[in-house]
Structure 1
Amino acid sequence: MSAIYGAWHIDGRPGARAGCERMQQVARAFGPDQARTWDGGEVALGAALLRLLPEDRFDRQPLLGAGGIVTLVADIRLDNRGELGAALALSPPDMARRSDADVLLAAYERWGEAAIDRLVGDFAFAVWDARDRSLLIARDHGDARPLHYHRGKGWFAFASMPSLLLSLPAIGRGLDTVRLARWQLLQSDGGGRSFYEQISSVEPGHLVRVHADGRVDVRRHWRPEAISPLRLSRPEDYVEGLRSVLDQAVEARLRSVRGNALLLSGGLDSAAVATSAAPILAARGERLTAITNVPRSDVPRQYMADARLDEGPFAALVAARHPNIDHEFVHLADADLLAEVERLTGYADQPVMNPLNTAWLCLGYALAARRGNSTVLVGTKGNFGISYTGQHALSEMAERARWGKLLAETGRLRRNGYAERAEYRIVSHLVV
């Protein structure tokens, strides 16, 4: 990820640029390729870039638009560049010379805040608009690009990571005990809280607008409930529709400056990504590095009675179907677990929720980097998509006292081998 940051002294005090320069020193760890700051007097914005996309070589943030009235910084990866280019009447040669941040600026110039509804991809961005002296910061709904902020007396600051904001002397390092308690209960959603009591987090799918009179409005911009349900005539049509959407999404994620890798488990989610990505890359004459975590050969076999503990054979079956997949293996036992946890805790400014999974992910990322790949595909949150079982709906049924439907759905889950997990989810909800 790249890093963005900024400060606005709403009360007119000087020092916004000095604050940005402090944050810039920390931001270089996230964006080593280019770091710049724009100074607008009472407000200053900055960006530290990590170039991962072909178009990133054209990125010169911070960007000025609308005749110098609008200033934008963004940590962004757009997946619908073609659609946006057509809507903005930008020619293919023009689009080829624009970074994703440039496209976002053109969209904001055309549609203002409503441009957010047209964006598909990962983004966290900030726009200073001198016309009404307002600052807008926004984040996509996918939880991929972090964004944090601090509300001070007469001033406001934002940054990708809390560590940037903590470089400002006026922001304390006291911990948020409520956020820590939620984390202990395995609640990853912080509800707008960071782990620091003086730093807030922009929730996924939300925006924050700061006004010249000091008002700060926080609201949700992502509204999936407004989307009409898809109704098709045959079950086969849903299968083909999912395949088409998956291929489109995967192809959009294959924009890379140095090749692609995939963290391939033995499950449905990353396997589906592999079977989509490999043919697309093969048509381009490119290869895909697939990386799987497997037990070391010296692990006693009695510990491997459950086939799910070794995902290597399942992943190998998927990789063998595609000649352009180079299948590599890593071993969790080779990871320096404590060192990785310490490093990631410092990098992410928060504890690691699942250290064992995190350790093997780090091994996979390191191997991908050694293979020269700059993009790594994953099946993150696939349990809410391709391999979704419906168990998460049980809590809602219990909460609404829909006992008949709850019993029917639980029965179906039991017949399909999910009895223990289904009953655990119901009991957990009723107890809590």
Structure 2
Amino acid sequence: MIMRWRSFAGMAALWGFSLALAAARGGHSAWLLVYSFGALLLYAVCVQLLSLRGLRAERTLSQSVALSGGDVQVTLRLTHKSWLPLVWLVVREEWLAEGRTDGIRFSRVLFPWFRRRLTCTYTMKRLNRGVYRAQPVAAVTGDMFGLLQSVRRASAEETLTVYPRPYDIRRWRVRGGHGEEGRIMLFPPAGNTRLGGTVRDYAESDPPRRIHWKATARCGSLKSREEEAYPSESLMVYLDAAAAGAAGSGAAGQRAEPFESAVQLAAGLLRYAAEARCPAGLVCRAGSREVTAHVRADNLAWGYAQLAALEPAAAGRNVYADELLRHARTLPPAYTVVCVTSALSDGLLAAAQQLSARRRKVQVLYVHTHAVLPNDVRQWRSRFEGAGCAFAPVACTHGGTEVSAYAADGA
């Protein structure tokens, strides 16, 4: 129990002054002040000693696992043994995310009086990806005059895991759907109108060698060849967390884009592979911690859990290309190497060239925040495609940094 003594000390000083005045001069008025101030002090002390005894807390979540951007309703039940009525009570809740400095806080003022069982409901809205742990519930009460305030805490352990919301791979342009069972189809993101066959409208990100000149002459506007999807029996996703660390972060405790979009894209690839009933894996190194997950349809949630706890690597030398080459060399031939990154480099290009020379299928998914792809990205695209790798720019699923989660009353 924590008490605040400033107001109480001031009242005690007034009581001492009135007692000295009554002893020196006497009189009914002076002694009335002594008795009045003394009664207030006694009442404040009794409230502290006899209230919120045996405080217990119990939480009930509408769901223990959620997707980023979603809401979770929390019902908090408090029981206590107080011998005096509680005129007011402030309940404070806090959820802290592992590995981060931000959290979700909630407080509510109640007027229990003689009730010993209290219930309050609140909703955590727009949750960000992560693993949240509930802190002990804090209950603040005191006398009706504010002379003393005490804080009692009750432990009620609870964990909430917020998975990344998977990027909808099905929004990409698909030819033939998933293909055969046990095989998936990889293809670049959509954004253009298909004309049917192998020709579509020209996009600004298309390299010149993809322009279909005969169709352009026939239609009177630029047309491009449709990229062919290619089948893969299994895939291994390599997520670049070091690029996100070098890019910095947003506000305090918030992860910056495009790291969150890259995580969502990785989750979407794992889900897409699970729906196609083909094995998939995830490899990501964040500092000294390496995350390796092998995912099938029956343990997709485990792969999501690995992504939920993933944090960007600290700024420093990016070893993504070296780790990619070291790990991908040992993969079975049936695996397609999928690189999810927000930083293009000569090291990554060299690693992709070596893997392509070994007849590995390599696809680079470049997560970016550009409204229109700049010329340097188009040049990188031509270089990767010239090295025998598929290259697809993917726009961030939401711009800027994460929106801070918050708690609100009720549902």
TM-score normalized with structure 2 length: 0.21
Q: Which has the higher strand share?
A: 2
TM-score normalized with structure 1 length: 0.20
Q: Which has the higher helix share?
A: 1
Q: 1 or 2 for the larger relative contact order (CA 8 Å, sep ≥6)?
A: 2
Whose Rg is larger? 2
